[in-house]
């Protein structure tokens, strides 16, 4: 028996079991979420994947949970804001001007080189 001899066909104990029917569609289940506004959202999720505890309601944007009697509390009391609104919160107007000028300069530079 020599060292370094490769044993073929050795099973790796930690390998997951293979599904015998490979051509079947991935099994899915339906998970329902309810938001504070009473909107119900059904999502399809792969059967062996854990459902996320919270799902954003596509109708009102509030977090929705799987317990219809106790939907999660809203995480944000503010109305929906645009990305620009968030940026404006973080930046002063002067900074915004500088960033805009920088972006425009970069854009012009890129256009000029083409």
Binding residue ranges = 35, 39, 57, 60
Residue 86, exposed/middle/buried by CB under 10 A (0-12, 13-18, 19+)?
A: exposed
User: In the complex, what is the shortest distance from the CB of residue 50 to Zn ion, in angstroms, rounded to a whole number?
Assistant: 23
- The least distance separating Zn ion from the CB of residue 63, rounded to whole angstroms, comes to 9
Rounded to the nearest 5°, which phi and psi values hold at 29?
-130, 160
The verdict on 35 binding Zn ion (CB under 5 A) reads yes
User: Which residues belong to the annotated binding site for Zn(2+)?
Assistant: 35, 39, 57, 60
Non-local (6+) Cβ contacts of 50 within 8 A are none
Residues 39, 43, 51, 88: which binds Zn ion (CB under 5 A)? 39
Q: Which is nearer to Zn ion, 35 or 72 (CB)?
A: 35
Give 101-106's long-range contacts (Cβ < 8 A, gap of 24+): none
Quick one: 59 or 81, whose CB is closer to Zn ion?
Answer: 59
């Amino acid at each position: 028996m020599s060292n370094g001899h490769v044993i073929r066909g050795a099973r790796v104990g930690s390998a997951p079991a293979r599904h015998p029917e490979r051509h079947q569609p991935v099994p899915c289940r339906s998970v329902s979420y309810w938001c504070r506004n009473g909107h119900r959202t059904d999502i399809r999720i792969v059967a062996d994947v854990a459902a996320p505890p919270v799902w954003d309601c596509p109708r009102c944007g509030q977090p929705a949970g799987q317990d219809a009697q106790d939907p999660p509390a809203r995480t944000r009391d503010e109305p929906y804001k645009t990305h620009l609104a968030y940026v404006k919160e973080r930046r002063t107007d002067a900074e915004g001007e500088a960033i805009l000028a920088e972006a425009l300069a970069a854009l012009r530079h890129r256009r000029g080189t083409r």
